[in-house]
Amino acid sequence: MSQIVVDDLIKVFHVARRTPGLWGSVRGLVKRDWAAIRALDGIGFSIDRGELVGYIGPNGAGKSTTVKILSGILVPDSGRVTVMNRTPWADRIRYVRTIGVVFGQRTQLWWDLPVIESFDLLREIYAIPADRYRKTRDEVIDTLDLGAVLHTTVRQLSLGQRMRCDLAAALLHEPELLFLDEPTIGLDAVSKLAVREFIGRLNKERGITVILTTHDMDDIEALCRRVIVIGEGRILSDGTLADLRASVTRERWLTVDLADNTASTLIVDPDARVIRQEGRRLCLAFDPQQVSAPELIARVVRTHAIHDLFVENPPIEAIIARMYDRDASETAPR
Amino acid sequence: MTPYTAVVSSRFRMLLQYRAAALAGIGTQLFFGVVRTMIFDAFYRSSNLPQPIARDDVVTYIWLGQAFLVLTMLDADKDVADMIRSGNVAYELVKPVDLYWLWFSRAIAGRAAPLMLRAIPILVLAGLWHGLRGPASGVAAALFAAAILGSLLLAASIVAAMTISMVWTISGEGISRLMAPLVFFFSGIVVPLPLFPDWMQPALATLPFRGLIDTPFRIYIGQLHDASAVSALANQAVWIVALVAVGRIMLARSLRRLVVQGG
């Protein structure tokens, strides 16, 4: 049976709207206009134990709202959510014991306390038995390499260190399910890799189910077998990365480094179009059903002196961007 | 330790670090204690009429007020305000604890720590040099201790309700400013409640604010004893229960309509 079942979830926020200017402010004192924003408009999916799911979408698409509902913080207007046989918001206190949550832009550590004291306080809050706590704590400290910062107060930590501490904090009570809301936001490349690698290991070695929202497509490519894409409160696509690609475009990219800088460098081919040119590097998009990669390469090599070349899939950013465009043009009346 | 006592003790330890604030507080409160006892002294000398409370008792009442001033400083929790503004309150909700008792615990620690730091030195100094007298009797001392404990709970229940109101208003400034003058007048911190006009006494005796300092202080000086002490303590207890209930209902309703800001 699925660990998480979400069915027809709807959440509407009412936001006070004010007409601009002085008159608007005065009028706002007496009469408020409320704008209804449908953050979630009938979301549904199910997730099995041990999956690592990427949940992506542009700003304001409803990602965080979904995560907040799934973690018991917000109450939806309608719809059904069952996670490990519980309804998160109805049974919040018992439910949150079994999950871990990390919000990338916030910290659950106590600002003025050394990291280790925050951990100890969390032990009290979750009532973790002492020996169990010591084992888990030492394990996460070890894998996240936190030994050096344990006695530093949280406000003195760098963002990367803090994020690793927050990840550790979310795991002390050994949750079966982990929600990560933009865990790599604002991190430098090295910290990003460390966090990414840790999440992957957690999922593989301990079988923890992970739901990851992110804007960083590298996170998705590195970690997620399954991707749910949402836009304007609705699910646009749900499946493997390969399926997502295939559903949007069959296109592949051929990148060519030309050997010389002569005037006749521009490649003209009926089955490929140039999508980018930077100095001697050209990027061609082609449809493998029209022309196979070897065939296209053969043609290019015949007419041009080539220094190097490689074939790749369009980056997932390009896929997603195209998907949003398509969705917008379908829904927007013209 | 339960989660709540752990929160109390960690915040308590954290707040005990604010020694400079405590020293400054002690200095200020000693100064105002001297000034206020002098003012009341002048009032008592200028009148021959019998007063509802003896001069020496007023001096003791005032010094107790200086020592336990923290119990009348009721501000919505600034850290919670920050959490609500930044959206960090989300993390409070993913912890397996009852949010009300969590915030109540913070309010307890927020009063108890400065109280410990300030009350004892002020009581000692005023007792040695400035007319603070001991409790009226052994029983009075015991009841006083119970009433101070009740006062701490009462203060925490008011602060918790104020803190929860911020889920609606975002900022705690307004509610704190509204509450300050009420507490100022009706707790007895400016003018001891026995000196208020007779027609106000029934109202003063009913309001929750007397439970903050007036009840313990009048038990201490022996003005409330036996039945009157019990009824004053009962008033305190009823208000604690009522305010906790109101706070919990407010919180339950506010969580239903909670919008976590940002992200």
Residue from A112, A122, A133 to probe the interface with B (highest B Cβ count within 10 Å): A112
Nearest to B167 by CA among B252, B238, B95: B252
**Local structure of residue B135 (DSSP, 8 states):** P
List beta partners, residue B226.
none
Q: What is the nearest CA distance from B43 to chain A, expressed in angstroms?
A: 48
Compute the average pLDDT of residues B98-104. 92
Q: Is 70 exceeded by the pLDDT of residue B257?
A: no
Contact B134/A at CB under 8 A: no
Other Cβ atoms less than 10 A from the Cβ of A35: the count is 9
Residue B263 lies in a domain: no
Q: Which two tokens stand for residue A162?
A: 């803090």
The per-residue pLDDT for range A95-133, each reduced to its tens digit, is 999 999 998 888 888 888 899 999 999 999 999 999 999
Question: So what's the pLDDT on residue A334?
Answer: 39
Who contacts B176 (Cβ-Cβ below 8 Å, separation ≥6)?
Answer: B74, B75, B76, B162
Do B164 and B251 form a contact (C-beta atoms < 8 A)? yes
**Local structure of residue B187 (DSSP, 8 states):** S
Q: Is 70 exceeded by the pLDDT of residue B258?
A: no
Chain A CA closest to residue B4: A125
Q: Which residues of A touch B96 (CB under 8 A)?
A: 93-94, 96-97, 125-126
The per-residue pLDDT for range B194-213, each reduced to its tens digit, is 999 999 999 999 999 999 99
Q: Chain-wide mean pLDDT for chain B?
A: 89
Length of chain A: 334
Residue from B92, B93, B94, B254 to probe the interface with A (highest A Cβ count within 10 Å): B94
| Angle of the B99-129 helix axis to the B3-15 helix axis, nearest 10 | 40
Do A170 and A108 form a contact (C-beta atoms < 8 A)? yes
Residue B262 lies in a domain: no
Residues A96, B10: C-beta atoms closer than 8 Å: no
CA atoms within 13 A on the CB side of B241: 6
ipTM of the complex: 0.75
Q: pTM of the prediction?
A: 0.82
| Highest CATH level, class, for A250-313 | alpha beta
CA distances from B120 to A14, B21, B22, B26, B38 (A): 51, 15, 11, 10, 22
Question: So what's the pLDDT on residue B259?
Answer: 58
The Cα–Cα gap between A98 and A285 comes to 47
Using 70 as the pLDDT threshold, list the residues of chain A that sit under it. 1, 261-266, 328-334
Question: So what's the pLDDT on residue A330?
Answer: 63
Per the structure, the complete domain to which residue B191 belongs is given by 3-256
Chain A CA closest to residue B255: A74
Q: Where are the domains of chain A?
A: 47-246, 250-313
Nearest to A241 by CA among A213, A216, A215, A220: A220
Do A62 and A39 form a contact (C-beta atoms < 8 A)? yes
Q: Which residues of B touch A181 (CB under 8 A)?
A: 263
CA distances from B144 to A166, A301, B68, B135, B229 (A): 45, 96, 12, 8, 10
Helix (H, G, I), strand (E, B) or coil at A99: strand
Nearest to A62 by CA among A107, A101, A9, A104: A9
Give residue for tokens 């009300």: B100
The per-residue pLDDT for range B19-58, each reduced to its tens digit, is 888 889 899 999 999 999 999 999 999 988 888 888 889 9
CATH topology of domain A47-246: Rossmann fold (3.40.50)
**Local structure of residue B211 (DSSP, 8 states):** G
**CA Rg value for chain B:** 19
Domain count, chain B: 1
Q: Which residues of A touch B106 (CB under 8 A)?
A: none
Residues B10, A93: C-beta atoms closer than 8 Å: no
Who contacts A237 (Cβ-Cβ below 8 Å, separation ≥6)?
Answer: A227, A228, A229, A243, A244, A247, A323
Question: So what's the pLDDT on residue B213?
Answer: 94
Who contacts A148 (Cβ-Cβ below 8 Å, separation ≥6)?
Answer: none
The Cα–Cα gap between A198 and A205 comes to 10
Other Cβ atoms less than 10 A from the Cβ of A325: the count is 11
Who contacts B33 (Cβ-Cβ below 8 Å, separation ≥6)?
Answer: B62, B63, B66, B122, B126, B130
* Cα–Cα–Cα angle for A72, A178, A241, rounded to 5 degrees: 115
Q: Is 50 exceeded by the pLDDT of residue B161?
A: yes
pLDDT band at B262 (very low <50, low <70, confident <90, very high): very low
Residue B123 lies in a domain: yes
Do A164 and A143 form a contact (C-beta atoms < 8 A)? no
Q: What is the nearest CA distance from B228 to chain A, expressed in angstroms?
A: 41
Residues B91, A92: C-beta atoms closer than 8 Å: no
CA atoms within 13 A on the CB side of A287: 8
Q: Which two tokens stand for residue B166?
A: 């911020």
The per-residue pLDDT for range B124-136, each reduced to its tens digit, is 999 888 888 889 8
The Cα–Cα gap between A210 and B134 comes to 63
CA distances from A194 to A143, A197, A205, A304 (A): 10, 5, 16, 42
Residues A107, B7: C-beta atoms closer than 8 Å: no
Q: Chain A residues within 8 A (CB-CB) of chain B? A: 13, 64, 68, 71-75, 92-94, 96-97, 99, 101, 103-108, 110, 112-113, 117, 121, 124-127, 181-182
